[in-house]
Each structure stands twice: as structure tokens, then as C-alpha cells.
Amino acid sequence: MRRRPRTSTASLLTLLAALLLAVAPHAAAQVPGGSSDATLPDIEDEVMCPICGTLLGLSESPQANAERAFIQRRIVEGMSKQEIKDALVAEYGPEVLATPESSGFDLAAWIVPALGLLLGAMAVAIGARRWRREGRNSGGPGASAAPPPDPAAGDEARLEADLGRYNL
């Protein structure tokens, strides 16, 4: 009869532990300066070293190392990748971003190549259609496979004569 309270205490402790485990990740995410999903290599290839004029990941200059230290400090503070990129833009201006923004004038950098690709594909399609049509009309390489015409009777006789002349 005395075992019952012990079992209920154990159950309570188990429940408490389970609750703690379930809550712990959320609690950690809410702590300011907690862990960040951002990593230096992930950001390095998306931002520029403005002084070097190259991608940050490709530069080993002291200026680039200062920028890396800046990013590293923000990661330790728990900033997300986007927050770190925003902080870099606040320091160096939008030119620090290696990829253009997807809004405003920068949007053109995404639209123009896609438009170019579309126009190119349309030009290829139109060209191919025209080439096929011309080939069909002139019997060129684009023409559809039609049965070869029967050789004329005169041609056949001449071929026989030639073959006979060369003893083939």
C-alpha cells in the first residue's frame, strides 16, 4: 500500500522531465543571444568585401578578416542570416550584397536574364520552325523522309551499261 505514493512521484518526475525536454528548445530559441542558424561559410559567399571588390569568401585581406570578425560576432549574438546581412548593409550600403535584392531596381537583375532566356528560346523555336518549313519546301535536310523517286527508265539503262563497262 505504501508503494503507491512512490510510483506517483516517479510518474510525476517523468512527466516533469518530459515537459522540460519539450519546452527546452523553444526556451533556448527565445533567449536573446541564443544560438543562430547562420554560419560564416554560408554568409561569406553571399556578401562582398567592399574594399577588396571580391566575394568575401575569396578574400584574405585584413579588411576581409575584419568583416568576417563582424559576422562572427553577430552569429555569437544569435542574429539570423538575414539580420546579419541587414547589419552589413547598414555598415557598407547595399553594394555589400553579392546578389541583388528582389525588389526595386535590383529586381531588373533577376528579370532581364529570365526575359533574355525566354526571348532566346522563342528565337530558337521560331528559327527551328522556319528551318523545317524551308527544308520541306526545298527537300533539304529539314525535309520529312519521303520515298525516293523511281529512277527514270533511261537512267536505269545507263547504269546497267556503266556497270557492264567496268565489269562490276
The CB-of-70 to other proteins minimum distance in angstroms stands at 5
The CB-of-110 to other proteins minimum distance in angstroms stands at 19
Cβ partners under 8 Å of residue 61, min gap 6: 49, 51, 52
Nearer to other proteins, 57 or 74 (CB): 74
Nearer to other proteins, 91 or 156 (CB): 91
The CB-of-93 to other proteins minimum distance in angstroms stands at 3
Nearer to other proteins, 92 or 135 (CB): 92
Cβ partners under 8 Å of residue 56, min gap 6: 43, 44, 45, 47, 48, 49, 64, 67, 68, 98
The CB-of-40 to other proteins minimum distance in angstroms stands at 16
Footprint of other proteins (CB under 8 A):
50-51, 62-63, 66-67, 70, 90-96
> How crowded is residue 97: how many other Cβ atoms within 10 Å of its Cβ?
17
Nearer to other proteins, 38 or 96 (CB): 96
Query: Could you tell me if 12 and 6 are in contact, meaning their C-beta atoms sit under 8 angstroms apart?
Result: no
Give the SS3 label for residue 38: coil
